[in-house]
Amino acid sequence: MATAGSDISTPRSTSPSSVFSGRSSHTSVASKRLSLSLQRRQSAFNPMSSVDIASIEQRMKMAALDGLRGYAQDHYGEVKQDHTTEYIPKSAAGGYQVLREPLWNKGLSFTPEERVSKNLTGLIPHAMENTDTQVERCMKMIRSRSTPIDKYLYLSSLKSQNLDLFYRVLIDNVRDLMPLVYTPTIGDVCLQYSTLYTRPEALYISIKQRKSIRTILRNWPHPNPEICVVTDGSRILGLGDLGVNGVGISIGKLALYTGAAGIHPEKTLPIVLDAGTANEDNLKDPLYLGLRAKRPSLDVMQEFMDEFMEAARDVFPEMLIQFEDFETEKAFNYLSRYRDQYRCFNDDIQGTGAVVLGGYIGAVNLSNVPLDDQRLVFMGAGSAGVGVAKQMVEYYTRRGLSEQAAKDKFWLVDTKGLVTWDRGDKLPEHKKYFARSDNNGHQFRTLEEVIEYVRPSALVGLTATFGVFTESVVRALKASVDAGGSGRRPILFPLSNPLTKAECTFEQAVQWTEGTVIFASGSPFSPFAVKSGDAAVTYWPNQGNNVYVFPGLGLGAILAKASKITDEMVYMSAASLAESLNAEEIQKGLIYPRIERVRDASLVVAREVMKAARREGVSMLPEEQWVEWEEWGDVALTKYIKDRVYDPLK
């Protein structure tokens, strides 16, 4: 019998609420099962359940962005402008006309007399500052920015307001600021150009307006530019096809023509040829500023380039054209096609080759490896790699080797391995010059295999692949050099830009070679100190940046009025760079001048380029001018150059 405290329940003792609760629980479970069953059935009969909605939406967005869909792509109209732009001359400008023109604005450097004559009273603070104070303010603002892009944007803003001050800041602080106006920061700027865009800084020539190129060129506000940097954005640094965003590289390069060589900013012209892009990210970006189309065929692009070159010569007959960051096949083709007809050169091929050769000349002197024992492996066989190697072949032919004997000192490696005639693939034209035929049918697929086979004294990287010079690769290079005799030093040039594409770092190179390496990179590295007991040994990196060559080469060609850029002029830019080091730099074991002395180096390069133009018979300067210099020598020619360079606020 159950008691009051019993756990045993009987029908009589069960409460109504307990019964309801139990039924409710059973009903809830059943409902859930039914719901899941219904969902499964509905899903099975739902025709949209297997459709990728996100993919459809993405295609619809792309279609909405494609404003050229359905139109003929091979008909081009010509822009007809009914009048030319009339600009106020500097002598007549006053007030905000002066302050809003960066070429005329002097900020707080205007004298009291200028403030009165130009109607500036009250428009700027009632303070007059010297250059040092203004530069100090700018540098304080730059240092307050947290990221390189933010620093670049501040400098870009300064440049748009006061060119003299911008270039004074750049010239006086070139070590800190060159990485911001050029590599590595300019790579990030190009990647984001369409997002960062606030104002035009260049000429943007679309293939859609190819019949209007002369009109577009005449719209440039500054008469008679002397140097133009043109790109189609198809191979920007190691970042690939950036389309119209690649215009940042033209802008950055020309800032260095002014900062490093003193070409007046009014005489520079950045241009991008917009023929579309193969970059899917750009095509999908609603903010992308370029032609939203795939690139045309090489034949169509060749026609477009022919039209541009002809129009540029017609409108600006004295202008030197520098080709920049065209993809490899086009880079070689354009240089070969135009070099004898126009004032032009390719910095990726000739400039990179010259600056690396200039460093290599110094490196050979420090390496203690005789010329006969020098063997070079190149990792990377694109336009830069082949261009550099060809420049270095000339170094050996000038020292008595036949062209074939000089060429035999070079082994080029690409993504398929050692470049040979019999490895089974069709070699691009530019690789054939260095293709090996002495491999006895054996193919070397990896860089390690090539080093073991060649036993090189130097390793050069132009791959745009970070870390491809591994510890095993670098140690193998050192071992091959050590095997030749004591006191010998390996030469290691990881030259790819930006830093994220460098084949190895300076610290790695020092550690993996026990400090014996002779090192040069494309982007800047900091000195590296190694402790030895209580003392420390500081190792100094070299930056084989094209800025040591192209500004001086351009300045020399402009001042010599060269009708074309010859191989001799390019070679002399390298040879003179190698001779421009001072005693302190030599004692530190450097192979390039300190970047703070880049203007000194550019002056030497420009002088020797001018002399080479004279020897080659391409200088269009009056004969009596050369007779005077040939009487008085370098002193007179150097003074001539110095008198014509832009050195603001001095």
Tell me the binding residues for (S)-malate. Answer: 235, 497, 545
What are the two backbone dihedrals, phi and then psi, of residue 311, each rounded to the nearest 5 degrees? -65, -40
424-to-413, 415, 420, 442 alpha-carbon distances in Å = 15, 14, 9, 12
**Helix ranges (DSSP H) in 433-548:** 447-454, 471-482, 506-512
Return d(Cα 136, Cα 115) in angstroms, integer: 23
Catalytic residue, candidates 106, 253, 267, 564: 253
Q: Is 182 a catalytic residue?
A: yes
Question: 3-state DSSP helix/strand/coil percent for the chain, to nearest 5?
Answer: 50, 10, 40
Annotated binding-site members for a divalent metal cation: 324-325, 348
Known active-site residue 61: no
Q: In what helix (H) or strand (E) does residue 519 lie, and over which residues does it extend? A: strand 518-521
Q: Annotated catalytic residue: which of 106, 159, 167, 182?
A: 182
Cα separation of 203 and 50, whole Å? Answer: 49
Contact 445, 417 (CB under 8 A): yes
Beta strands in 421-490 (DSSP E): 458-461
Give me the sign of the Cα torsion angle 31, 33, 37, 42: positive
Q: Name the residue among 649, 444, 498 with its Cα closest to residue 188.
A: 498
Query: In sequence order, what are the residues at sequence separation of 6 or more whose Cβ sits closer than 8 angstroms to the Cβ of residue 93?
Result: 101, 104, 118
Annotated binding site: 235, 324-325, 348, 497, 545
What is the Cα Rg of the chain in Å?
32
The secondary structure element, H or E, covering residue 336 is helix 328-338
Instruction: Report how far residue 236's alpha carbon sits from residue 190's, in angstroms, rounded to the nearest whole number.
Output: 8
Indicate which residues carry an active-site annotation: 182, 253
